[in-house]
Structure 1
Amino acid sequence: MTAIPAQPYSPSVPRVPRTRRLLPPPPGPRPRRGRGTSGPLRATLALVGLPLVAAVALPAAFAGGGTRRWFGGRAENQRAEAQAAKDAAAAAFYELDTAQRDLRISIETITAVDDSPAARRAVDGFEALSGRIDEASHRYIDAVDAHDLDRDDLEASAASRARVDLTAARDELGRVKRELDRFADGLGPLLGKAETQLARLAPAVERARQALLAASNALDTARGSGLSADDLAARLAALAPELTKLNQGAGQHGVPQTLERAERVTREAEAVRAEAERLPERAAEIDRRLVSLRTRAQALTTRSEQVEPVLSELRRRFAVACWQDLQHVPEVAGENLRQAEARLAEARTARGEQRWADATALLATVRALLNTTDEAVSAAGDRLRRLNAVQKDPEQEIERTRFAIRDAQRLAMAGRNTPDPRHARPLDDAVARLERAVAGLEGRHPDYWHFLTETEAVRTTVSRVVALIREERGAGAH
């Protein structure tokens, strides 16, 4: 059999849609306006014949040629404070943006694994929080766009307003950041569970792939030894679509479902591999059982032929009650043996066709038939043996039973002046029952089998009383 191809697995995680983010312009000074030499100034310099570089030494008497150094004092201080507020707001913005990105990854991890109400509440909470983050971000961006701190003619009042607006934007970003941090802390249990399952995902899928490959190799080995193993091949082929779904990834089928599928495929593939590896041994075992049961059937056939002579002697020497229940043993034994032979033939056919389950079931049926036959055939011989023994010396059976009763009576009286009625009554009944059985031996044709069954029943009753006494005393000791 060709092995199921091993395909690379790369789990994909479904993504939560991102809220559109407007990023501010990158930090740093913008190109300043009005710092070059004006067109009229260039023309004037050309007329008087001065070089262009000499313009830097001229007094600032030309309109449009002013620089920031002519606005000193309070305006420059306000500009610096506004710039510091802008830098602080930018840092707060990027810190919040980074935290939001990290939290989005956490939410995506949770939703990829968990579809519980708690996970859905986490997603809703994140979306609401994202809305507040966007509001704070837009406020910051608007504040940055509303104030050009690089203007040459920036007035102190404008710089002050910029500082106030940018500081307010920074504070709002900080408040939302703290809210985001609290929300992220509350996701700890959900995130831990999700990360645990994601950590299990890739190894589980890989185990499933390796189990399928091992099963395929074991099946090829079994077939190489001459065994067809069609049922195992069909079971393995049924797992191929499951491997396809595993390779399509958790993004398409979900993490929990993929984990469950991987574990199921692993179990089933390992079962196929184990059976394929055991197949040669199983075939050899069936062959041994076929030979063993065939030999046993032949031996029982020979033994069953001796039942009729045993019954004949029982009829001749003992009363009808001693052997009447054994009358049908020869017929039952013959029928069982015929059925056993038929089932053996079917089992050999199933073995030849490599229907291992059918062969095993048929051999179990043969064994049950032979066990029943063995018990019936043995019962006839055992009956004759026991009847011969009691006919020769019934006192041995009587003394054996009386000893059991006396031993139980001593135990019932141990440590007591009078026995417990629950113990004394069944023992007294046992004595009376034994006496009746002994009396039944008088006469010309005594029923020895009834006598034997009665003494056995008496001993059984006495054993139950002894067990009850010991149980009660053992419980009292504790």
Structure 2
Amino acid sequence: MTATPAQPYSPSKPRAHHALRDTLTLIALPLVAALALPAAFAGGGTRRWFGGRSESQRAEAQAAKDAAAAAFYELDTAQRDLRISIETITAVDDSPAARRAVADFEAISRRIDEASHQYIEAVDAHDLDRDDLEASVAVHARTELTRAKDELAGVKRELDRFGDSLGPLLGKAETQLVRLAPAVERARQGLLAASNALDAVRQSGLKADDLAARLAALGPELTKLNQGAGQHGVPDTLERAERVAREAEAVRVESERLPEKAAEIDHRLVSLRTRAQALTTRAGQVDPVLSELRRRFTAACWQDLQQVPDQATENVRQAERKLMEARAARDEQRWPDATALLSTVRALLNSTDESVSAAGDRLRRLNAVQKDPQQEIDRTRFAIRDAQRLAMTGRNTPDPRHARPLDDSVARLERAIGTLEGRHPDYWHFLTETEAVRQTVARVVAQIREERGAGH
């Protein structure tokens, strides 16, 4: 409340202050009156007592004054409490709803000022302690004080309704304030734990420069946290604390895992070097395989493998160079570089392994189909018949979307079988065709099952 009994609402401040003092000592009045009455009757008092109607009106006016003072006090207390709630909201929330709440509170505060001014004027206008207080004056005083009390009570009800409407905003703000102190403390403890973990790693002989740089970058953030929410705002401070805690935790975890990572890189260096050496040996075995393919089968069966020996040799050579770079990065403790280089080496060796294996696999499959092509034919026909049975399940006629590719697959298989006739069959073409037929059939089966599953 902007206006309180101790604030200068009018030039009659001493009288207003006296009225409030009377109110605050209201409880003591009966005792004081009890002590004063005997003295008055004994001639020791200064008031001239008038009996009858005048004293009755004086008492009623005094009761109205006391009731108005009580209403004034209740309104003042409620406004002070609500101001704290508004300050809590504005410290956390800058949303349109929060700004509207501030504007509404200012409007109600102006209403409170008006009602308080009316009350203080009513108190200042009437001295109920005058010896010659007339009954008509006491009645007028009672009327004005009652009106002032009613006005204060009405504004109090309006203030209470406004306070009730602040529930969601206040709850949200209080939740964030409750989270603030623990969040800041977690951030500080997280930074301390990360710093301790980093010190332990360095004592073991590992540099961890990148982790140290990440931890140092959090220093300014800690300074802002120490400056507090009063300077940077609750939402920003809360977000900063949570982010610092996350990043500090990441530094701590990576610091504690660094010795394990170093050992893992050492192991991968040895393992990939051994694999590169083994691939060098296997790459040397591709030429004899190609020679046999050239001697026994048509060019279409092996010409795409012609570059495998040279490519394998080049890939292994590149892998060995990258391994040397990875070793240097590990010795310099450039862990990200070492990890990236080892990934490159692995990709090169995987590619080489696949191409070297492809030559031997090609010879094995061609030998099998040359010896018994019927096994490949039966395998493909079985896949087609199985798909046809599925397509007819629960139907009198198959769906054209399923029947057409299956019929095409039958025709394609027959054409592939026809390529085996003649003096020099193209076995590789036959194998690639049957594989393609089985893939087409598998797609049709998957489509049928998906559609029926969706129907259920």
Structure 2 CA distance for partners of 1:360 and 1:75, relative to 1, 3 Å: same
The superposition leaves residues 368-393 of structure 1 with CA deviations (integer Å, 9 ceiling, x where unpaired) of: 10000001111111112222222233
1:187 to 155, 163, 166: 166
The superposition leaves residues 417-452 of structure 1 with CA deviations (integer Å, 9 ceiling, x where unpaired) of: 665554444444334333333333333332222222
1:109 to 82, 88, 98: 88
Structure 2 CA distance for partners of 1:295 and 1:27, relative to 1, 3 Å: same
Q: Aligned equivalents of 1:418 and 1:139: distance in 2?
A: 95
3-state secondary structure, aligned to 1:148 = coil
1:159 to 127, 135, 138: 138
Q: Aligned equivalents of 1:28 and 1:406: distance in 2?
A: 107
Q: What is the match of residue 28 of structure 1?
A: 22
Q: TM-score, normalised to structure 1's length?
A: 0.82
Structure 2 CA distance for partners of 1:286 and 1:126, relative to 1, 3 Å: same
3-state secondary structure, aligned to 2:2 = coil
Q: Aligned equivalents of 1:172 and 1:422: distance in 2?
A: 83
1:390 to 369, 372, 376: 369
Confirm or deny: 8 A CA contact 2:3 2:117 kept in the other structure: no
Structure 2 CA distance for partners of 1:374 and 1:82, relative to 1, 3 Å: same
Structure 2 CA distance for partners of 1:456 and 1:89, relative to 1, 3 Å: closer
Give runs of aligned pairs for residues 165-204 of structure 1, distance below 5 A. 165-204=144-183
Q: What is the match of residue 420 of structure 2?
A: 441
Q: Aligned equivalents of 2:46 and 2:381: distance in 1?
A: 134
The superposition leaves residues 228-267 of structure 1 with CA deviations (integer Å, 9 ceiling, x where unpaired) of: 1111111111112112212222221112222211221122
Give yes or no for the alignment of 1:336 onto 2:315: yes
Give yes or no for the alignment of 1:134 onto 2:113: yes
Q: CA deviation at 1:116?
A: 1.8
Q: What is the match of residue 442 of structure 2?
A: 463
Give yes or no for the alignment of 1:19 onto 2:13: no
Structure 2 CA distance for partners of 1:149 and 1:428, relative to 1, 3 Å: closer
2:280 to 296, 301, 304: 301
Q: TM-score, normalised to structure 2's length?
A: 0.86
Q: What is the match of residue 26 of structure 2?
A: none
3-state secondary structure, aligned to 2:131 = coil
3-state secondary structure, aligned to 2:94 = coil
Structure 2 CA distance for partners of 1:112 and 1:420, relative to 1, 3 Å: closer
Q: Aligned equivalents of 1:423 and 1:178: distance in 2?
A: 76
2:184 to 188, 194, 205: 205
Q: Aligned equivalents of 1:137 and 1:173: distance in 2?
A: 7
Give runs of aligned pairs for residues 395-406 of structure 1, distance below 5 A. 395-406=374-385
Q: CA deviation at 1:345?
A: 0.9
Q: CA deviation at 1:68?
A: 2.1
3-state secondary structure, aligned to 2:424 = coil
3-state secondary structure, aligned to 1:446 = coil
Q: Aligned equivalents of 2:97 and 2:311: distance in 1?
A: 70
3-state secondary structure, aligned to 1:27 = helix
Q: CA deviation at 1:165?
A: 3.0
Confirm or deny: 8 A CA contact 1:21 1:134 kept in the other structure: no
Q: What is the match of residue 354 of structure 2?
A: 375
2:221 to 238, 242, 254: 242
* Aligned-CA RMSD value: 2.8
Paired residue type of 1:189: P
Q: What is the match of residue 47 of structure 2?
A: 68
Q: Aligned equivalents of 2:365 and 2:287: distance in 1?
A: 18
Paired residue type of 1:309: P
Worse-superposed segment, 441-450 or 355-364: 441-450
Q: More relative contact order in 1 or in 2 (CA 8 Å, sep 6+)?
A: 1
Q: What is the match of residue 325 of structure 2?
A: 346
Q: Aligned equivalents of 1:415 and 1:139: distance in 2?
A: 91
Q: Aligned equivalents of 2:386 and 2:51: distance in 1?
A: 125
Q: CA deviation at 1:282?
A: 1.2
Paired residue type of 1:149: L
Q: Aligned equivalents of 1:468 and 1:70: distance in 2?
A: 109
Structure 2 CA distance for partners of 1:445 and 1:266, relative to 1, 3 Å: same
Q: CA deviation at 1:123?
A: 1.4
Q: Aligned equivalents of 1:342 and 1:429: distance in 2?
A: 51
Q: CA deviation at 1:226?
A: 1.6
Confirm or deny: 8 A CA contact 1:430 1:458 kept in the other structure: yes
Q: CA deviation at 1:305?
A: 0.8
Paired residue type of 2:360: G
Q: CA deviation at 1:408?
A: 4.1
Q: What is the aligned-residue identity percentage? A: 82
Q: Aligned equivalents of 1:296 and 1:352: distance in 2?
A: 21
* Unaligned segments of structure 2, at least 5 residues: 7-15, 24-38
Worse-superposed segment, 115-124 or 96-105: 115-124
Confirm or deny: 8 A CA contact 2:115 2:148 kept in the other structure: yes
Bigger radius of gyration? 1
Aligned length: 430
Paired residue type of 2:213: A
Higher helix share: 2
3-state secondary structure, aligned to 1:461 = helix
Give yes or no for the alignment of 1:279 onto 2:258: yes
Q: What is the match of residue 9 of structure 2?
A: none
Paired residue type of 1:28: D
The superposition leaves residues 196-255 of structure 1 with CA deviations (integer Å, 9 ceiling, x where unpaired) of: 222222222222222222222222222222211111111111112112212222221112
Q: Aligned equivalents of 1:251 and 1:468: distance in 2?
A: 63
Q: Aligned equivalents of 2:157 and 2:451: distance in 1?
A: 72
Q: Aligned equivalents of 1:384 and 1:66: distance in 2?
A: 132
Q: CA deviation at 1:470?
A: 4.7
Paired residue type of 1:222: V
Give yes or no for the alignment of 1:96 onto 2:79: no
Q: CA deviation at 1:398?
A: 3.1
3-state secondary structure, aligned to 2:359 = helix
The superposition leaves residues 322-358 of structure 1 with CA deviations (integer Å, 9 ceiling, x where unpaired) of: 1111110011101111111111111111111111111
Confirm or deny: 8 A CA contact 2:3 2:116 kept in the other structure: no
Structure 2 CA distance for partners of 1:331 and 1:147, relative to 1, 3 Å: same
2:236 to 240, 257, 262: 257
Give yes or no for the alignment of 1:144 onto 2:123: yes
Structure 2 CA distance for partners of 1:337 and 1:177, relative to 1, 3 Å: same
3-state secondary structure, aligned to 1:28 = helix
Structure 2 CA distance for partners of 1:416 and 1:169, relative to 1, 3 Å: closer
Confirm or deny: 8 A CA contact 1:22 1:138 kept in the other structure: no
